Chain A
Amino acid sequence: MEKNQNTPSGDELCIKYVMNELDPSEVYMIRREMEDNEDLLIEIECLSRVWGKIKSLPEVEPPAHVCEAVVESANRHYEESRKSFLSVGSFNNTTIMASAAAVIFSLSIGIANFYPQLIGFPAGGNHTEGAAALEEQIEPWVDNNDVLHLNTSEAGLSASVLDSLTRSGMHNLIIFDSNNSLQTPASSGFRLTNQNTNH
């Protein structure tokens, strides 16, 4: 079984005892163990003695000129950041106005490109309004042989626009056959034409 990384082993408990990082119950447990285990007692005493020597290491002060350089650097940094803050605050009005105009102009161009309908332009590549107008000019009719006719020649449609309208219309068509099952024009063999048929 894999050892849990956060569960201290005997050695780690031992060093935690020396470093005074155990809770009272663990301290009690270690002390009880030391009474019975002489090796543990010796190890803890040795480690404590070495740690005691390290603890006697005094702190060393940095040289005065280094500290002064640090304080000067702190003063300089504060002054510089204050100056840059003030220079941003005193920006002249012409610059602000020019920037604002540039931002508004850019926003207008963006809106015109991406949301043309908002400002009354026909949308490029999107037939929302144009298609609605054309659909009003087309009057579909069905002859005696159940053939659907679209009088597109009167509406003056180009072949590509007609194709686009036909395809979108085909998806909206639902045919009800004699078995009362729903079918699409494609599955039922329904045929659309823009040619006049004389019966």
Chain B
Amino acid sequence: MSKEKKYTRLSELDDQQLVRLYRREGSEKAFRELLNRHQSKIYSYIYSMVGNQEVANDIFQETFTKVITKMDETYNEQGKWIAWVMRIAHNATIDYLRKKKRFVDVNSNDDPDYDFYERLPDEELEDAQLTIEKGEAMGSLMKHINELPKEQREVVMLRHYYEMSFKEIAELTNVSINTALGRMRYALINLRKMFDKEHGKESKYAQR
């Protein structure tokens, strides 16, 4: 009874407490709670960087295999668990990109049917027309993000999905804070140019 009662309060526990529960008692529910809390951020980051569902699935699993096996050796419970996991996910993603040498355009050759927003949960899709429009806009944005150089894309995604400060991004990517800020600025400028170009094309088609 007490165990059940304890598990009903898992959502009230912080990450550190859940990690301790898993490490000491092997509590599956504690681990599941941790995964539920952070899986979408981690998966979205990986997916947005590699642009391929199968690869994203593999890297996501690889990340958590490392998390599970290295938790006893390298995770210090004083630090933020999610920051440690994000670092592992980032390194696994960058390793993959380096191996494949896909620094510029991650989806143009490998997965021509790649559509980031095909995988949005159904319950969020209230209206079909709205969904298509939203999907198109998002698809266009994602396409442009994937056209950014890898260094600029990673800064944008680390900031958006992991909500990292520029100090944290700089530490993770081994550059100065000003370089990280500069990369973000160029990423936004490049995206603006891409949108302008896209809108220019649209108006050209409309004139015909």
Which A residues lie at the B interface, using CB under 8 A? 5-9, 11-12, 14-16, 18-19, 21, 46-47, 49-51, 53-63, 66-67, 69-71, 73-75, 77-79, 81-82
B200 at the A interface (CB under 8 A): no
Chain-A contact segment, one of B4-12, B32-40, B75-83, B96-104? B32-40
Main secondary structure of the interface of B (DSSP, over half): helix
Q: In the complex, A50→B40 CA distance in Å?
A: 23
Q: List chain B residues, Cβ under 8 A from A58.
A: 44, 120, 124, 138
B184 at the A interface (CB under 8 A): yes
Q: In the complex, A49→B141 CA distance in Å?
A: 13
Q: In the complex, A62→B38 CA distance in Å?
A: 11
Within the complex, the shortest CB–CB distance from B193 to chain A, in Å, comes to: 10
Q: Contacts A12-B178, A50-B195, A60-B116 known; A77 to B68 CB distance under 8 Å? A: yes
Main secondary structure of the interface of A (DSSP, over half): helix
Contact yes or no, B40 A51, CB < 8 A: no
Q: In the complex, A53→B72 CA distance in Å?
A: 40
Within the complex, the shortest CB–CB distance from B33 to chain A, in Å, comes to: 11
Within 8 A of A (CB), among B96-129: 116, 119-121, 124
Contact yes or no, A59 B182, CB < 8 A: no
Contact yes or no, A57 B176, CB < 8 A: no
Within the complex, the shortest CB–CB distance from A4 to chain B, in Å, comes to: 9
Q: Contacts A54-B141, A61-B43, A74-B31 known; A6 to B178 CB distance under 8 Å? A: yes
| Closest chain B residue, CB of each to CB of A79 | B26
For the A-B complex with A9-B178, A60-B116, A73-B68 known, give 8 more contacts whose Cβ atoms are closer than 8 Å: A11-B181, A11-B182, A53-B141, A54-B145, A54-B191, A56-B138, A59-B41, A60-B40
Q: In the complex, A82→B23 CA distance in Å?
A: 10
B159 at the A interface (CB under 8 A): yes
B2 at the A interface (CB under 8 A): no
Q: In the complex, A63→B121 CA distance in Å?
A: 11
Within the complex, the shortest CB–CB distance from B174 to chain A, in Å, comes to: 13
Within the complex, the shortest CB–CB distance from B134 to chain A, in Å, comes to: 9
Q: List chain A residues, Cβ under 8 A from B43.
A: 59-62
Q: In the complex, A70→B120 CA distance in Å?
A: 21
Which of A46, A60, A61, A82 has the most chain B CB atoms closer than 10 A to its own CB?
Answer: A60
B160 at the A interface (CB under 8 A): yes
Contact yes or no, B22 A66, CB < 8 A: no
Contact yes or no, B22 A74, CB < 8 A: yes
Within the complex, the shortest CB–CB distance from A150 to chain B, in Å, comes to: 67
Contact yes or no, A51 B141, CB < 8 A: no
Within the complex, the shortest CB–CB distance from A30 to chain B, in Å, comes to: 14
Q: List chain B residues, Cβ under 8 A from A9.
A: 178
Q: List chain A residues, Cβ under 8 A from B165.
A: 21
29 A-B pairs with CB atoms under 8 Å apart are A5-B176, A6-B177, A7-B178, A12-B182, A12-B185, A15-B185, A16-B166, A16-B181, A18-B188, A19-B159, A21-B165, A47-B188, A49-B192, A53-B141, A54-B145, A57-B48, A57-B141, A57-B160, A58-B124, A58-B138, A59-B40, A61-B119, A63-B57, A70-B35, A73-B64, A73-B68, A74-B68, A75-B31, A78-B26
B142 at the A interface (CB under 8 A): yes
B91 at the A interface (CB under 8 A): no
Contact yes or no, B166 A77, CB < 8 A: no
Q: List chain B residues, Cβ under 8 A from A50.
A: 188, 191-192, 195
| Closest chain A residue, CB of each to CB of B40 | A59
